Amino acid sequence: MAPSIDANQAEEKLTMDTFFNVGGGHRGESSPRYRVTVIGSGNWGSVAARVIASNTLKMPNFHHDVRIWVYEEILPNGEKLSKTINEANENVKYLPGIKLGKNVIADPDLDNAVKEANMLVFVTPHQFVSGICKRLIGKIKPDTEAISLIKGMEVKTEGPCMISKLITDMLGINCCVLMGANIANEIAVEKFSEATIGYRQNKEVADQWAKLFCTPYFLVSVVQDVEGVELCGTLKNVVAIAAGLVDGMDMGNNTKAAIMRIGLREMRALSKLLFSSVKDSTFFESCGVADLITTCLGGRNRKVAEAFARSGGKRSFDQLEAEILQGQKLQGVSTAKEVYEILSHRGWQSMFPLFTTVHEICIGQLPPLAIVEYSEQIANISSVEGVAQCC
């Protein structure tokens, strides 16, 4: 049974009755106003499409069909992935055994997949977003809203660029974010989970997105802190690499808990240094400490990092990614590199010893054991937080 929602949460948690009446559209409307396309058909993209498609069937102001853009692949049996999804109503490669819903339509043509949509859900590996957006310039409706489920960032000369801002800058559309303690396979079988939507200005749009995602087993809160929500979802993957290294060396739960605590401290400090608008309260939402715990206990970054440590660092993360994830992408290693670029550019490495050490282990500069062979440097971290609070 799902836990009850207390009174303090009631304002932010959207009940099912609220969802069906938020953001325009009434039960008497004759023509649907919104059409959704999911850009990305991996594990999480397939689950997101399934959740959304189950809700659009209940909402008269939404077109029932949900398109999902598929990066075309040829399966071992010679069939195209998109064709198999449409015929079997199942993503046999990335979400086997789960029916997506008859109203989920796979489309390998990106232009065609988005041409009628005015709500776009981005859920691809973060390194592909820029290329996808370039292809979409001038090809989407001017009133389109977007939401990013992508955990990552791009590092530019002027500093970090969050994926939501990249989408906004390249396409000229508003972009919210959704992050949380969301292991896709658990949501696919309807185990109770939560998520957090971050928005900048328009809460009505954020509520509209919540309307699309919320189910009795998947509750969504809405907070006005895009950067905070997005950085939580991004930085926790670096901490998960550290947690996996600890597991791979059988160091035990005390050590893992310490690494997670230090990681959360560095997540908060770096987030507030980079964006003064980040709220402390965001770290207590599903996107924050809950997502960190889940990822450090059961995520793919932890799993691959454990295998890396058990090999003594002799097998590369690229090799292990291909072997273990079967086509899914590992985000933690590339994010660790991007974070290190930010730290080194500003001379902050000593202020963030965990983030720095994870990257140096990933590139083979340090052995896996180095994850616990540094001082936390409390004075430096405290000074970072002091600066952040004054920004």
CB 174 within 8 A of CB 146: yes
Say which residues have a Cβ less than 8 Å from residue 10's Cβ, sequence separation at least 6: none
Say which residues have a Cβ less than 8 Å from residue 61's Cβ, sequence separation at least 6: 24, 25, 26, 29, 32, 33, 34
The Cα 10–Cα 293 span in angstroms is: 24
The Cα 165–Cα 274 span in angstroms is: 14
From 93, 151, 165, 236, active-site residue: 236
Strand ranges inside 28-74, DSSP E:
34-39, 62-69
Q: How far is CA 158 from CA 111, 173, 273, 362, in A?
A: 31, 22, 15, 25
Spell out the alpha helix ranges (H) of 137-177.
163-171
Residue 49: closest CA among 70, 21, 34: 70
Mark residue 152 as left, alpha or beta (left: phi above 0; alpha: psi -120 to 50; beta: remaining): left
236 an active-site residue? yes
Residue 376 Cα to chain centre, angstroms = 28
SS3 228: helix
The Cα 179–Cα 235 span in angstroms is: 12
The Cα 253–Cα 306 span in angstroms is: 14
Catalytic residues: 236
